[in-house]
Amino acid sequence: MKPVFREVYSFDKKCYEKYKLTEDILMEHAANAMADVIKSRVKKGSTVNIVSGPGNNGADGITLGRILLGEYKINLYLPLGAKSEMAKLQLERFLAVGGGVKETYEKCECLVDAIFGSGLKRDLSQDLVCLIKKMNNIDALKIACDIPTGIDDEGNLRPVAFRADVTVTMGAEKLSLYSDAAKDYVGEIIRADLGVSFAKYRGRSDYHVWEREDLVLPFRKKQNAHKRTYGHLGVLAGDKKGAAVLAGKAAFNFGCGLVSVVSHEYFNIPYEIMFSEKIESHFNALAFGMGMGNYFDDEIEKLLNMNVPMVIDADMFYKEEIKEFLNKNKIVITPHPKEFASLLKILGFGEFSTDEIQKNRFKLSEEFSQKYPKVVLLLKGANKIIAFNKKLHIDPLGSVALAKGGSGDVLAGMIGGLLAQGYHPFKATMMASLAHSIAGNYKPNYALTPEKLIKRLENLA
């Protein structure tokens, strides 16, 4: 798990005021970090095109050109000139060692975007939009300095962005790098230290990104155990009964000892899953909402009175009663953006379109957690957001292969299975989300099915 930050200007300021470093020192480290990436991936003597902006992000790019000049052919472009004091100084140094500024764009093996870094708050000009599109069409290794130009502080495109293969982000990773919109543009993210260690540079953060090594699978260590040792999950089946079956099978494949599907009418289910006509008091956890429709509407009061952990999904986010569930303990909710919009409307946060949800995923998830800190929210997307206790966590490990009907039912079942096994709701959500994401990295990415996803849970160890 690693911290990410909304802004790093205060950390740069600390370097200047507390550690007595200068902009010059930080800039040399930033440029050297980019140079190291290029030297490890691009053959010496190759052409490197650097497109620099007018400010200090551009100055990082100009500094990079000076460092590489002699080992590589450097073409420096300044479409907006050099305007900040550091940009002017670095340009003088670049020219002094024999560099020059180009006017016409040439072919290259490596292209560096150093136009704008973090802090973008406005749309790019039409000229820059055209330039970014032209840069995106160049066949070369593409590297972004700090953050791809065109991505703002919320991770949205304004209105286009440079499509990087590698983003070398300066000092600390920014929250905006992990938005859904940014996922197609940032490529591999590499953090550069800026004259002090990360431990000295960083400050406190309420935002964290999960990593592969954070996953702890539900291995059974105790030998003297039986099926009830590992919990009994009840899954409510509504008008789309396949959703409940997928959730039940996922829970079973993720360590749950017993799984029952609850329905008012019998239907064919896998042999290992039990059938129940009513919600049983001995369930250790419940999963419901997926494919539920209006089934169980007359039993919501009974559900509210049950004191067991619950994972709630899908159709429940369109029902007014959801408000009452959020006041209970040990609740996990797993909406996709449209469902989250409905939930926020019911809760009085306001009316949002799906597009507005996507543009404000971090902000709205944070606001939800401020009001409902005991509820674990998992907002689905290209990067899952998990909000709990007024903190945001991001699971960036998922693949587009998961964009299939039934993937969310599998996830809810996995969380429910861990809840039934006694996991804390946040830990259950974390481990299920990571396992779901990692298992979902399937090739070819168009061919993953929920059944294959469930099967792949066996291969994570």
Exposure string over 176-191, b if 16+ CB within 10 A, otherwise e: bbbbbbbbebbbebeb
- Each residue of 197-243: pLDDT tens digit? 999 999 999 999 999 999 999 999 999 999 999 999 999 999 999 99
DSSP assigned state of 305: H
Which tokens go with 55? 């400010």
CATH 3.40.50.10260 residue ranges of the chain are 2-205
Q: Would you call the peptide bond into 79 cis, given omega within 30 degrees of 0 as the criterion? A: no
Contact indicator for 192, 30 with CB cutoff of 8 Å:
yes
pTM beyond cutoff 0.85: yes
Question: Which amino acid belongs to residue 400?
Answer: V
At residue 5 the predicted structure's pLDDT band, cuts being 50, 70 and 90, is very high
DSSP assigned state of 239: S
- Each residue of 83-129: pLDDT tens digit? 999 999 999 999 999 999 999 999 999 999 999 999 899 999 999 99
Contact indicator for 62, 34 with CB cutoff of 8 Å:
no
In CATH, which of 3.40.50.10260, 3.30.70.20, 3.40.50.300, 3.20.20.10 is domain 2-205?
A: 3.40.50.10260
Report the distance separating Cα 60 and Cα 26, nearest Å.
Answer: 9
Question: Which amino acid belongs to residue 290?
Answer: M
Report the distance separating Cα 208 and Cα 1, nearest Å.
Answer: 6
- Each residue of 133-167: pLDDT tens digit? 999 999 999 999 999 999 999 999 999 999 999 99
Q: What is the overall mean pLDDT for the chain?
A: 97
Sign of the alpha-carbon torsion through 402, 460, 384, 254? positive
pLDDT at residue number 119: 87
Exposure string over 8-38, b if 16+ CB within 10 A, otherwise e: beebbebbeeeeebebebbbbbbbbbbbebb
The arithmetic mean of pLDDT across residues 369-379, rounded, is 98
The arithmetic mean of pLDDT across residues 13-41, rounded, is 98
Contact indicator for 27, 88 with CB cutoff of 8 Å:
no
Question: Angle at CA 314, nearest 5°, toward 313 and 317?
Answer: 90
The β-bridge partners of 209 are 2, 394
CATH 3.40.1190.20 residue ranges of the chain are 213-459
At residue 461 the predicted structure's pLDDT band, cuts being 50, 70 and 90, is confident
Q: Does domain 213-459 have CATH number 3.20.20.140?
A: no
Share of the chain above pLDDT 90, in %: 99
Cβ-proximal residues to 110 (8 Å cutoff; 6+ apart), any chain: 38, 41, 42, 46, 47, 48, 49, 72, 140, 141, 142, 143
- Each residue of 240-272: pLDDT tens digit? 999 999 999 999 999 999 999 999 999 999 999
The β-bridge partners of 3 are 208
